[in-house]
Amino acid sequence: MKRNLGNIISNARKSKNISQKTLAEKLGISTQAVSKWESGISRPNAENLMKIFDILDIDTSNWFSKRSSPSFHKNTGMGSIRSIYKIGSGPSSSHAIGPERACMRFLKEHNGMDSVKVVLYGSLAKTGLGHGTDKVIKKTLAPIKTAVVFDKNTKVEHPNTMDMTAYRNGALIDTVRVISIGGGDILYNGEPSSTEKTVYDFTSFSQISDYCASKGIELWQFVEEKEGTEIWEYLKTVWKSMKISIQNGIKDEGILPGGLDVQKKAKQLFLAQHIDETSETKENRLICAYAFAVSEQNACGGTIVTAPTCGSAGVLPSLLYYEQQKRDIPDIKILHALATAGIIGNLIKTNASISGAECGCQAEIGSACAMAAAAIGQLFDLAIEKIEYAAEIALEHHLGLTCDPVCGLVQIPCIERNAVAAMRALNAVNLASLLWNTRKISFDSIVKTMGETGRDLLSYYRETSDGGMAKNYNGK
């Protein structure tokens, strides 16, 4: 805690010209109770505390330390890299896939309910319409009568929070709080939605690197050792789905849904060719075309693979697909690259965040760029030290990147940003392969820095569409 809670309540109350008696009446408690809170004799319970934050418009960042690790991150180990690669429908893993999973579990656990009220807070409330969160919720809970409320004012600890309340004949049965923590994963009533066991005991790249060195194995072999040989069958399915999203995207035409009138450009990029096109220009054009293809499929609700999120799904597959087409690389090497990229994504998710609502776009596009850089490094059989450096460069140079989607849609600047990040990943690999023995910053250090930077970002720049491009966009 940065400041005394009693002082925070007292100062905020006085700044609003609200008396202790008025605050007590709004809370339905005694004036004496408010007096005790402000004097430090006692503390409000969690329910009253959240009401106080709302009534007095208290910014929770004044109470909770920005540097403390959020309670929703537990880095005692890591689960399977399967959690990084999820096949699902766009446009958002945290705003669509996460709520969908929450509703599926809620529906299963409340067989007798005849109506549901879902309240969305934070980023879910502010960009939920653009992401189609309400549509996903109603579709998943159908035919149960469902009301979705967008509460943009109540302050919550995590920006992707939703409350689900079940009713039967008008009587309340149960209320569950769900947090969509990114990449489609959720905390359901404070517990992970998945019963997945810990697969990796290590939670840092340095630990993994040292272990691999001691056994003389590569990163993909480390994944096989921990996940079992069955992981290759799963990644084979992932790669097949990634390729389909690219192939569908470069054939697609038309306008993306949502009202921004954004034209699909992947096909145009794929077919366009300069009269005097160099090999470098062609490489740029095709990689960008593939990144646009996946991102546009995501934006129109098509099937994509999170890598590590829906909004950043185009970065990794665009590079792998280009290299496979250019060099006729066998699928098994692509799967090895996906495994290595999965470790990078898993480490970021465990020690920082892959959620744009929590840490800005650096957590999504920055993480995807780091994964792609590591994957290409693996594809070219670079040493682990070079792979680490490539991933570090890729993430470092996305630090502070804001998440400010126009109209809450995963279109501007998201689609273009996937293509730019793909090219940046390639540059990171080239630099790392030449300068690896001069590096000063570790991957673990930059992951920690990204997490801290993300929590320091103003809420305007963490997928609320309240600032940045979302605020200043004028349609031209």
Torsion of CA 462, 465, 468, 470, to 10 degrees: 150
Paired residues of 117 in beta bridges: 147, 165
Segment 301-358, tens digit of pLDDT: 899 999 999 999 999 999 999 999 999 999 999 999 999 999 999 999 999 999 999 9
Q: Rounded distance, CA 318 to CA 297, Å?
A: 13
* CB-CB contact of 321 with 266 (8 Å): no
Which pLDDT belongs to residue 75?
A: 60
Which pLDDT belongs to residue 52?
A: 87
Which pLDDT belongs to residue 61?
A: 47
Which pLDDT belongs to residue 196?
A: 59
- Return the CATH class of domain 89-192: alpha beta
* Enclosing H/E stretch for 294: helix 279-299
Q: What pTM was computed for the model?
A: 0.79
Q: Which CATH architecture has domain 5-62?
A: Orthogonal Bundle (1.10)
Give start-end residues of each CATH 3.30.1330.90 domain in the chain: 89-192
Which pLDDT belongs to residue 276?
A: 84
Phi, psi of 9 (to 5 degrees): -65, -45
Residue 98 identity (one-letter amino acid): G
Which pLDDT belongs to residue 322?
A: 98
Which pLDDT belongs to residue 94?
A: 86
Q: Which tokens sit at 145?
A: 């009568």
Q: Rounded distance, CA 237 to CA 234, Å?
A: 5
| Side-chain half-sphere exposure of 162, counting CA atoms within 13 A | 36
CA nearest neighbour of 320 among 287, 354, 297: 287
Give me the residues of the chain with pLDDT under 50, please. Answer: 1-3, 61-74, 195
Q: Angle between the 205-215 and 331-351 helix axes, to the nearest 10 degrees?
A: 140
Which pLDDT belongs to residue 447?
A: 98
Which pLDDT belongs to residue 225?
A: 98
Which pLDDT belongs to residue 1?
A: 35
- Beta pairing class for 115-121 and 145-151: parallel
323 contacts: CB under 8 Å, gap ≥ 6? 329, 376, 379
Which pLDDT belongs to residue 67?
A: 36
Which pLDDT belongs to residue 476?
A: 66
Which pLDDT belongs to residue 440?
A: 94
129-134 own/partner pairs: CB under 8 Å, 24+ apart: 129/408, 130/258, 130/405, 130/407, 130/408, 130/409, 130/410, 130/465, 131/91, 131/92, 131/95, 131/96, 131/408, 131/409, 131/410, 132/91, 132/92, 132/95, 132/96, 132/301, 133/92, 133/95, 133/96, 133/99
Segment 366-416, tens digit of pLDDT: 999 999 999 999 999 999 999 999 999 999 999 999 999 999 899 999 999
Give start-end residues of each CATH 1.10.260.40 domain in the chain: 5-62
Which pLDDT belongs to residue 60?
A: 55
Which pLDDT belongs to residue 72?
A: 43
Which pLDDT belongs to residue 46?
A: 63
